Chains A and B, each alone.
Chain A
Amino acid sequence: MIEIVSATRCIECDICVRACPANVFDRVRKKPPVIARQEDCQTCFLCEIYCPTDALYVAPNAEGPTGITEAEVAAAALFGSYTRALGWRRGKPGGSEHDPTFRIRVAPR
C-alpha cells in the first residue's frame, strides 16, 4: 500500500491526486497531498511512476500498512526504483521500446 509522501521531495503538483485510480490522496493547500484513504490503495505502484520527483513509496504488502519510514526507504534507494526500472522520467512514459518481453515469450518452458 501507499505508505510515504516525502515532504522533502514533493513539489506539491498534486499529479498523484489526479492519477491515483483509487483516489487515496487528498489535496492540501500549500502542502503535500495526504494519504486520506490508505485502505483503498490497490498497490499498483502507478503513483510512483507518475510522480515527477520520486516522492512516493508503495510497500508491496497489499493487505495492510507496514509502517516503513522515509529514512528506511531512502537508505535502501527505493524512492523511484520502479520508475527507473521502466525507463519513465519525471512522470512521463519512456522505455517501452526496450521491453525484452518478446524474448521471454519464445524462451523454452
Chain B
Amino acid sequence: MTKAQGMTTLRQLVHLQRRADLLDLVADVLVIGGGPAASWAALAASAEGARVAVVDKGYLGTSGATAPTNTGTWFVPPGDGRAAAIERRQQLNGGLAIARWVDRTLHLAWQRLHTLADWGYKFPHDDAGKPYLNNLRGPDYMAFMRRRVLRAGVAILDHHPALELVSESGVVCGATGIDRQRNRPWRVRAGAVVLASGGCAFGERMLGATGLTGDGYLMAAEAGAALSGMEFSAQYACAPRHTCMNKGMPFVWASFYREDGARLDTDNKDRYAVVAQALLEGPVWGRLDRGTPELSQWLRVGQPNCFLPYDRAGVDPFTQKFPVTLRCEGTVRGVGGIKLVSDDCATGVPGLYAAGDAASRERLTGAISGGGGPNSSWAIASGNWAGAAAARFAAREGANRAERKPVAMGGAGLRPAKAARAALRAADIVQTVRDEFLPLDHNFFRNEATLRQSLDRLERTWRDLRDHLAGAGTAAVKAREAAALTATSRWAFASALARAESRGMQRRIDLPAADPQFVCALEATGLDHIEVKRSALADTVDAVTA
C-alpha cells in the first residue's frame, strides 16, 4: 500500500482528530495485534459493517510468529474423515480438548482457506492440479492479509503499541498507547475490543517473538478476565545454536549426537525430551541425515529460511554436524491464554474478545502443542468469531461512544504504587524472567521445589515492578512488556504447581504420571495475588449469538 491510501482510510472511516500531542480516534471495533488472528478479526468485523481500527506494536504483515515462518494449516474437509481426524488427535491431547470446538474450528478454517484461494492468494498446486490449502507461506500470507485488510477500509496503525485498555461502567470501550516512531500518545474509543496480540515467548530468542510478551494477557487480567491452561507453556523446539530458527520440519529428519559422537537414541521416544536431557549434560549436535536427496531439495526450496544459518556459516547440514539448542516457545506454540467463555470468543468482560494465541487453545489442542496446523487454523476461526461478535456487540451496546469518559485500567509498569525508581530497569526484569523461565531444568522438566523457588523470585520481581517501575513515552512500552512477561511467568508457574501431575507438555519429574482427577482445566486469576482453581471442561454453548 502507499502512504496516501493509508491516510485516506483513516480519514474516511474513523472520526479522526489530528493533534500534535494526541492521535484521537473513534471506531466501532478496535483490534489489538498484527498477526493472522488480528487480520481475520478486522476483516470479519468490517464485513459486519463496523468501522475498524487495528493497532499493532510492529507492522501488520511482519509482526508475530506466523509472518517469518512457513506454517501448516489443520485442513480437514467435512465428512467422515473429519470425525476420525478429531478422534486420532483426542488420543494424544491428554483428554482436555473438546470435540465440538475442534469440529467448529476445522469447519470455519476449511471455509476461510477456500475464501483465501478465491481472493487470489497463490497456493501451490498438487500433482492432481488441485490447490494445496494445507500450508501457508508466512511472509506471503501476511503480506496478502495486509492488502485485504486495507482494501476492506480498515485503518491500520503500525508501530502503535497498546499500553492499556479503558472501560466505562465495567464495559471495555477502547485502549490507549503510544506511536513509538513519533513518540505521540494515541487513544481509540471503540464499541468493543478484540485482543489478538499473540502468545508469550518469555523473552526467548525464537522466530517472530519480539512482540510476543504477553501484553494481551496482562491487559485482559487488569480488566478482570481469567487465564486458562497457562501450565501448558513448556513447548520447546530445536534450533541451530545461537540462532532463532526454531522451525521443526527439517529436524524431523535429523539425528542428534553427543560431543563424543555417540548418537542419541530417539527412536519411538519423545525426541525433544531426549535432546533436552542430553543438553543438560553437555553440548548436542545435529545432522539432517535421515532423508533422501530428493527430500533435501524440497526442504531447501520449501523452507528456505531454515537454511540461512547453515548457508551463511558455510555448513552443509545434510552431511556435517552442527551444534543445536532448544528454544522455549512459551504459549506461542504452547496452549495457555485468555479464557474464552462462549462460542463467540467473549472473555466474560463485556466488550472484550480474544483470538489467536492471545486466547487459550485448550479446547482445540488439549495439553499438547498446537504448533503449526492447529494454531494456524485456530487463528483463522477465532479471529473470525471474535471480530464478528465484537462488531455485533458494538452495534448493540456501543452508542454514544465519542461522548464516553472512560477510565484507564493499566497498572504495573504505567502507574507504580509507590515512588518510581529510575535504577529499576525493564531490561533487567526481562533478564530475570528469562533466567527463571527458559532453562530446561526449570520449565521443560518441572518439579515442585524448582517451581517454588522460581515463583518466589518472580513474586519479588513483580512486587518491585508494581511498586516502582515506570516508563514515560516510548519507554512505557518496555516497562509494560517487562510487567506482562513477569505476570505471565507467574501465572504459568503457579498453574504448573497446581497441576500436580504430568500431562502433555507439562512434565513434572516429581509426579511423572497422569492423575485422572486433573482431567480439568486450570484457571488463573489475579495480579498481586494469583489464584489457580479447577474449572470443568464442560462445553459452553453460546446463548447470545444474535
Chain A residue nearest to B144 in the complex (CB): A93
Stretch binding the partner chain, chosen from B15-23, B228-236, B243-251: B243-251
Interface residues in A31-71 by Cβ distance below 8 A to B read 40-46, 49-50, 59-63
Contact B124 A98 (CB under 8 A): yes
**Most A Cβ at <10 Å: residue of B134, B210, B299, B307:** B210
Contact B67 A97 (CB under 8 A): no
Contacts of A21 in B (CB 8 A): 34, 57-59, 62-64, 67, 208, 210-211
Least Cβ–Cβ distance between B122 and chain A, in angstroms: 4
Contact A82 B308 (CB under 8 A): yes
Least Cβ–Cβ distance between B169 and chain A, in angstroms: 36
| A103 contacts chain B at the CB level, 8 A cutoff | yes
Contact B137 A96 (CB under 8 A): yes
Contact A61 B308 (CB under 8 A): no
Contact B301 A63 (CB under 8 A): no
| B205 contacts chain A at the CB level, 8 A cutoff | yes
Bound Cα distance from A82 to B300, whole angstroms: 11
| B281-301 Cβ-contact flags toward A at 8 Å (1 or 0) | 000000000011001001111
Stretch binding the partner chain, chosen from B42-50, B86-94, B309-317, B532-540: B309-317
Contacts of B181 in A (CB 8 A): 17, 23
Contacts of A97 in B (CB 8 A): 122-125
| B479 contacts chain A at the CB level, 8 A cutoff | no
Contacts of B242 in A (CB 8 A): 60-63
| A28 contacts chain B at the CB level, 8 A cutoff | no
Closest 7 CB pairs of A and B: A21-B58, A85-B304, A42-B210, A44-B68, A60-B309, A101-B302, A62-B244
The chain A residues found within 8 Å of chain B, CB to CB, are: 17-23, 40-46, 49-50, 59-63, 76, 78, 81-82, 85-86, 88, 93-105, 107, 109
Task: Return 25 A-B CB contacts under 8 Å, by A number.
Answer: A20-B58, A21-B208, A22-B211, A40-B210, A43-B244, A44-B68, A44-B210, A46-B68, A50-B62, A60-B309, A62-B242, A62-B244, A85-B300, A93-B139, A93-B140, A96-B124, A96-B137, A97-B124, A99-B301, A99-B302, A101-B70, A102-B134, A104-B298, A107-B295, A107-B298
10 other contacts beyond A44-B68, A93-B144, A99-B70, with CB at 8 A cut-off? A22-B210, A42-B205, A46-B68, A60-B308, A86-B139, A86-B140, A93-B139, A96-B140, A101-B298, A103-B298
